[in-house]
Amino acid sequence: MHYAYMHRDFTNTGEPESFHYLLPIDSDDVLGMIFGEQGYAYPEFWRKSFLRNGPEGFYIWFDPSHEEQLTEDEAIAADLLNKLRAFKESGSADPDAVRRLLEELDETRKKDDK
């Protein structure tokens, strides 16, 4: 699929810049779009590597998979920070409380590794 858009940077010259994306589509997806049974919305359908270009005109490969991994990593980090914050606010630093916290963190890590 060829996707293109034009951008004007009014903080600079205001001249239009064109950007083009060449996205891979499976044949079943094409039929679904033709018959109106399926959309092709961002970001759900933009998960495969694709070619994109900028104002310079040449195409480069872009792999969006790292974005999905980054989102997952940020969710894990937020969960860990919440658990650590709750532990700190509890004010209990005895060995049993620390062991329970470490076990909980270990369970979280094991769950995320699956």
pLDDT digits (tens, 9 = 90+) for 23-69: 888 888 888 888 888 887 777 778 888 899 976 778 989 888 787 78
Same domain (yes/no): 25, 77: no
Looking at 48, 63, 78, the residue that finishes a domain is 63
pLDDT at site 113? 65
Contact 101, 83 (CB under 8 A): yes
- The residue length of the chain stands at 114
How far is the C-alpha of 19 from the C-alpha of 54, rounded, in Å? 5
Contact 62, 28 (CB under 8 A): no
Q: How many domains does the chain have?
A: 2
Same domain (yes/no): 70, 48: no
The domain in which residue 95 lies consists of 66-113
14 band by pLDDT with thresholds 50, 70 and 90: confident
pLDDT tens digits, 55-111: 677 898 988 878 778 888 888 889 888 888 888 888 877 888 888 888 888 887 777
Same domain (yes/no): 52, 12: yes
Strands (E), 1-111: 2-8, 16-22, 50-53, 59-62
Looking at 63, 86, 105, the residue that finishes a domain is 63
Assigned token pair, 34:
């033709």
Same domain (yes/no): 86, 50: no
